[in-house]
Each structure stands twice: as C-alpha cells, then as structure tokens.
Chains A and B, each alone.
Chain A
C-alpha cells in the first residue's frame, strides 16, 4: 500500500505563473482533503472532495484557487497567478467513509515556493 502520494515534492514558480499540485489517495479511499501549512502556522483546511464532486470548499481562497477530483486520476489543486503569499506546504489527506479518524491519512506534502 503506497499511501497517499503527492507530487511534486517541491515546486518553484515565478509570480504570475500557475501551480498544479497532485494527490493520489490511498487505494480504496474515495475522500480527499487539502490543507495548507503556512510558515509558523498550523495546517488549515482548504477543500474536501469526493470523486467528481466538491463537497466543502469553505477554506479555499475566493480567487485563483481551484480543486478537482476527476473520475479517473489524481486530485488536482490548482493555483493561478501565484503570489509570494502562496508559498507554503500543501498537504492532502484521504479517507474512506466510516474510517475517521484512524483512516485519515496524510501525504508528505508539496512545498511551493514562489519567487
């Protein structure tokens, strides 16, 4: 069981570029959550998705950020026109119904640096 896979591990973007972060959930998991960890801050919830559905995006910034979890393939967190303040570690977690909290598993994160 490969666990939750996130790639890339590190991503450097210039201001104004787009960043795409990928998350493949654990085998058998149908729920994906994205969190952001800013420097010196705790993890903050961004969005919760199931296959082809955004269930809760209450933590997503209103502009430039979007997420999807297609029927096939990984979940994608997309940040358009990145700014320096987007520099952070982005973690995704996956779970299955009825397995909370013990089955709620985090990936190793993508560290985004905006220069």
Chain B
C-alpha cells in the first residue's frame, strides 16, 4: 500500500461546478496536510495547509482533514477555467535528521470548461 493515494483523474467539469479532490494516506506520523497546484511546466505552488482534523476555508477553497479515516479533501466552489491545473496532495513528517519531508500523491488533473 502506498503511503499516499490520489486518483489521477483526469477530471473535467463545467465552469461554476463544485470540485471535490481527495487523498487517503496510511502513515499516522504525518503532521501537515497540504494541497499544491501545479500548472503545466511549472513547479508546485502551495494552495492550503492544515495541521489538525477539521475544515479550513480560504476564498473558494476548503481543505478538509479527517485523521480518524486518514482522508483529506479539497473542495473548489464556483470553479473557473483558471483553476485548470494538476492538484497534488502532500503530507509531511519530521525525520530524525530534522528535515521536513513531503510525501506527494500522484496528482489529479483538473480541467474547468468555460
């Protein structure tokens, strides 16, 4: 079983739709739960991060973490064509050496059609 599982999609929705992206994980030692957005030929850009179970909202984006089920979600309301990108979930843990190591899902490619 991989540490982080994410459905790669692709996912295609009409403009204005609500988008739901999900990841599951197996490692209870993960501390931070993050969502990155990656446009084609670009590096990942941090969208949101959370530390504890519950919801965190930022504009049209809501990140949700359920540690008991080892499940995280990202919701995008009123999706726009500019949201078209690959969305990567990532989780971190602190190693013995003191490094913050990120473990990524494979990414879900999202297309929002005008």
Contacts and interface: CB of A to CB of B under 8 A. Distances in A.
Interface residues of B, number: 27
Nearest to B106: A42
Contact of A56 (B45, B101, B102, B103): B101
A43 B46 contact: no
Interface in B71-114: 88, 90, 92, 95, 97-107
A4 B32 contact: no
Q: Which of A58, A91, A106, A108 has the most CB of B within 10 A?
A: A106
Given A40-B8, A43-B88, A108-B41, A102 B46 contact: yes
B49 interface: yes
B43 interface: yes
Interface in A7-58: 31, 33, 35, 40-45, 48, 55-56, 58
B102 A45 contact: yes
Interface of B: 4, 6, 8, 32, 34, 41-46, 49, 88, 90, 92, 95, 97-107
30 contacts: A31-B99, A33-B99, A33-B102, A35-B104, A40-B8, A42-B6, A42-B106, A42-B107, A45-B102, A45-B103, A55-B99, A56-B95, A56-B97, A56-B99, A56-B101, A58-B95, A91-B44, A95-B100, A100-B32, A100-B92, A101-B32, A101-B46, A101-B100, A106-B43, A106-B44, A106-B45, A107-B43, A108-B41, A108-B42, A109-B41
Given A43-B90, A108-B41, 8 more contacts: A35-B104, A42-B104, A42-B106, A43-B102, A91-B43, A101-B32, A101-B46, A106-B43
